[in-house]
Chains A and B, each alone.
Chain A
């Protein structure tokens, strides 16, 4: 019967060379703060599809009418209140794209054919 082996005294292990964690922690912390700041900026800032108060020229056929219409709007999320004095447009309402022009008063000359509201007595 073979004699049971007896472990000898443990050899001393060489000390493991670990990297200094301070620099990595500093880099990760700085990066995290930057990412968080970017996320906050993206959440808080409104979309800027059009810069406020920028005039928009709408071309019209034959260039008979031109229009300078300042567009000012903010996009509201659910539960947000509009700024004081702002006109709130229903998202489902027709978009205000209509161009209108004033009509000069005509010379008051007799016209035989007239369109009127119903019930109007035509002289």
Chain B
């Protein structure tokens, strides 16, 4: 636990009056078992914004349908059902699998997309794998015509989950480069771009109360600057939970044990340069626990981090104060 023996005084420096938060044009659909939303700042251009948002959503949904384990027809499901150790995958799945390898490095091994069987066991739909029983070695190499070649140990199956959602948010925002202020919400993982002189208010969900807000971030750019991009992502143990007898399991698997992580963190939110990195770091903080997790986030140089602990404390790294709404 953090904070038991600490005395902290916080003072805020006087700040300029921020601009009013953007009231966006929002278009939503569903993908990968969750919501997919485009928000655009489009005062006076609502019709054009709606058109562009729908086009972007259509493209993002097609990508998502290749990466979802919830669709039997997805390329990911095909890969997971194939017993071969070496096989070729398409460009989109190849890029996201490569992002999964980067996530292993970024998280010090705590975020591992090859934990599908442990995840299914936590849900109760499969037997729990024995820790370390079978190596989960795998790699990916470039193939012909933008494809990729996956090499894996027998039995390795993938759950792209948040890595895919973070990637979709970042890639989706690239599609909307004509809109200086835009947000892609991929089931809670946000890719945010803000134009100078504007402000996005981003609410951090409080998982203890429906519709409540734990904190509000103000992401803005001063007049005269260039548009800025952020990634904001939240991970936690309080939504995907299953009871098996007298035990409660959640969906965040600790690769060190191949079982749901034992942690004092209920939820972690991270602000950094991309939605993919924010997602990986938020999940890392939850699995690592509050003390180790905060230290890891600090070393990673994130722009902000807010953690809700089992004890009900809401903790943040100091640099987060500059982003919190007054």
A113→B8 CA distance, assembly (Å): 31
Q: Would you give the shortest CB distance from A92 to chain B, in whole angstroms?
A: 12
* Residue from B21, B23, B35, B165 whose CB has the most chain A CB atoms within 10 Å: B35
Check B294 against A103 for contact (C-beta < 8 Å). Answer: no
Q: Would you give the shortest CB distance from B218 to chain A, in whole angstroms?
A: 11
A64→B320 CA distance, assembly (Å): 11
Residue numbers in A under 8 Å from B291 (CB-CB): 96, 98
Check B315 against A100 for contact (C-beta < 8 Å). Answer: yes
Check A101 against B318 for contact (C-beta < 8 Å). Answer: yes
* Residue from A60, A63, A96, A98 whose CB has the most chain B CB atoms within 10 Å: A98
Q: Would you give the shortest CB distance from B250 to chain A, in whole angstroms?
A: 10
Of B58-66, B133-141, B208-216, the stretch lying at the interface with chain A is B208-216
Interface assignment of B52: CB less than 8 Å from any CB of chain A: no
Check B3 against A102 for contact (C-beta < 8 Å). Answer: yes
A91→B35 CA distance, assembly (Å): 43
A37→B138 CA distance, assembly (Å): 60
Within 8 A of A (CB), among B124-169: 161-162, 165
Within 8 A of B (CB), among A103-123: 103, 105-106, 108-109, 111-123
Residue numbers in B under 8 Å from A121 (CB-CB): 35
Name A70's contact: one of B3, B5, B190 (CB within 8 Å): B5
Check B9 against A115 for contact (C-beta < 8 Å). Answer: no
Name B295's contact: one of A68, A98, A116 (CB within 8 Å): A98
Of B91-99, B110-118, B195-203, the stretch lying at the interface with chain A is B195-203
Residue numbers in B under 8 Å from A75 (CB-CB): none
* Residue from A93, A108, A120 whose CB has the most chain B CB atoms within 10 Å: A120
Interface assignment of B247: CB less than 8 Å from any CB of chain A: no
Q: Known contacts A64-B13, A112-B24, A120-B188: does B292 contact A103 (CB below 8 Å)?
A: no
Q: Known contacts A94-B292, A96-B295: does B213 contact A111 (CB below 8 Å)?
A: yes
Check B204 against A94 for contact (C-beta < 8 Å). Answer: no
A106→B213 CA distance, assembly (Å): 7
Q: Which residue of B lies closest to A70 (CB)?
A: B5
Q: Which residue of A lies closest to B288 (CB)?
A: A94
Name A98's contact: one of B2, B39, B210, B320 (CB within 8 Å): B2
Check B200 against A113 for contact (C-beta < 8 Å). Answer: yes
Name B33's contact: one of A68, A93, A102, A119 (CB within 8 Å): A119
Interface assignment of A66: CB less than 8 Å from any CB of chain B: yes
**Using an 8 Å CB-CB cutoff, how does the interface string of B55-98 with A read, 1 for contact, 0 for none?**
00000000000000000000000000000000000000000000
Interface assignment of A62: CB less than 8 Å from any CB of chain B: yes
A23→B246 CA distance, assembly (Å): 82
Q: Would you give the shortest CB distance from A99 to chain B, in whole angstroms?
A: 6
Interface assignment of B187: CB less than 8 Å from any CB of chain A: yes
Check A113 against B240 for contact (C-beta < 8 Å). Answer: no
Check A97 against B162 for contact (C-beta < 8 Å). Answer: no
Check A95 against B203 for contact (C-beta < 8 Å). Answer: no
Q: Would you give the shortest CB distance from B313 to chain A, in whole angstroms?
A: 7
A63→B232 CA distance, assembly (Å): 26
A60→B236 CA distance, assembly (Å): 29
**Using an 8 Å CB-CB cutoff, how does the interface string of B225-260 with A read, 1 for contact, 0 for none?**
000000011111011100000000000000000000
Check A97 against B13 for contact (C-beta < 8 Å). Answer: no
Residue numbers in B under 8 Å from A63 (CB-CB): 11
Q: Would you give the shortest CB distance from B304 to chain A, in whole angstroms?
A: 11
A101→B325 CA distance, assembly (Å): 15
Interface assignment of A67: CB less than 8 Å from any CB of chain B: yes
Residue numbers in A under 8 Å from B192 (CB-CB): 113
**Using an 8 Å CB-CB cutoff, how does the interface string of B289-326 with A read, 1 for contact, 0 for none?**
00110111011000000110000011111101100110
A14→B2 CA distance, assembly (Å): 87
Check A115 against B232 for contact (C-beta < 8 Å). Answer: yes
Check A94 against B315 for contact (C-beta < 8 Å). Answer: no
Check B203 against A114 for contact (C-beta < 8 Å). Answer: yes
- 24 of the cross-chain contacts (CB-CB < 8 Å) are A63-B11, A64-B12, A68-B6, A69-B5, A94-B295, A94-B299, A99-B8, A99-B318, A100-B3, A102-B3, A103-B306, A106-B216, A111-B213, A113-B24, A113-B185, A113-B201, A113-B203, A115-B185, A115-B188, A115-B233, A117-B188, A118-B34, A119-B240, A121-B35
